[in-house]
Amino acid sequence: MRIWESIFGRPTGTGTPGFVPERLPQHVAIIMDGNGRWAKRRGLPRSAGHRSGFDRVEDVLRTALDCGIKYLTLYAFSTENWQRSAEEVNFLMNLFSEAMTRYTDRLRERGVALQFIGRRDRLPANLLARMEELDRTRLDNPALTMTLAIDYGSREEILSAVRVLARRAKQGTLEPDSLSEGDLRAALYTHDLPDPDLIIRPSGEYRLSNFLLWQGAYAELWFSPILWPDFGREQLLEALRAYANRERRFGRA
């Protein structure tokens, strides 16, 4: 029995919708926020908060797999995060590389495909080499695709896509008047992903912070006061409950 049945129950047939697979989001995206504040409240260095935050990924991923979610996208490092101290940035880059080395085989055994979105020209060589190695070992028909957004910013992504389309128009391979949403979508980092159904923001903040602005146009949003290092199975299930009880109209009456 999948975890959603044990927690939400089977459809009752009494007029209430019950919790059924069709009510689950296909794609969940999470802004992993609050690591620094979590550490500060405990008198710990910010690095301790980041490490604890990465430890939470395992719990959230396991829950997503149990629930049959197909896509999980995690906002790990934004284009604005380069403004942090060199010490913190270097720690994060080393943490990303360490986590990929430690967990890649385990993810593959569980049918999880790992991929990345964001700029790559500013990443350290050792991290970039690890990411490119993983890109060459994609799984066929994965149980879940986990996407890490590293050096990602949605405005930068859209601008990059516009530049691609502008070059095509200049070369004469694209007629500007025929430009469609599909053309722009195909030029985004996320061209091989469905749009997110649910975007989750922990830490008590109520903003998207330059995350999936185009793709999240009709995503359901769910906010939590829980800081990311304390966010786990129960919080994700709470978000899924909320999502399952919403009616998505996509602009329809």
Catalytic residues, by residue number, are 33, 81
End-to-end CA, the chain = 36
Query: What is the C-alpha separation between 85 and 91, in angstroms, rounded?
Result: 10
Q: What separation in angstroms does the CA of 180 have from each of 6, 87, 175, 187?
A: 44, 43, 10, 11
